[in-house]
Amino acid sequence: MSGAMKDPARATLEAALALSQRVLAAADQSDMQSLVCLDTERLRLLESVRLRHRPLDASEQAMIEEICRLNDRAIGLMEHQVRSKSRALDMAAVGRRAVAAYWAAGQR
């Protein structure tokens, strides 16, 4: 199918897939501001496809599945980063308590 004759739903899904790749890259870079903007735009595109009320063909369904896989990977990256930040905060709290205990012991 030529670019001029491309089905609007297919073109929209291709754009959503490209945004999904950018969402994954933003998650990998911990760029949450970009990630949120990209995800919002992607959701708008996916909603517009859903509102067309026509069944998706096999290639369109495959694009949806790839969007889901990329989204799952982005979520996994973000969850990993949250756990990493949480561990860092826990370690900082342990360090603060150790310094406070050391300082209190020196005051006696």
CATH class entry, domain 7-82: mainly alpha
Confidence check: pLDDT of 48 > 90: yes
Rounded to an integer, what is the distance from CA 85 to the centroid of its chain? 17
Asked whether the predicted pLDDT for residue 7 surpasses 90, the reply is no
* Contact assessment for residue 38 and residue 87, using Cβ atoms and an 8 Å cutoff: no
Residue matched to tokens 């005051």: 107
What is the band of 4 on the pLDDT scale with cuts at 50, 70, 90?
Answer: low
Please state the rounded mean pLDDT for residues 78-89: 88
Instruction: Give the model's pLDDT for residue 51.
Output: 86
Q: 93 pLDDT band (50/70/90 cuts)?
A: confident
Question: Average pLDDT of 10-38?
Answer: 96
Output DSSP code: residue 3: G
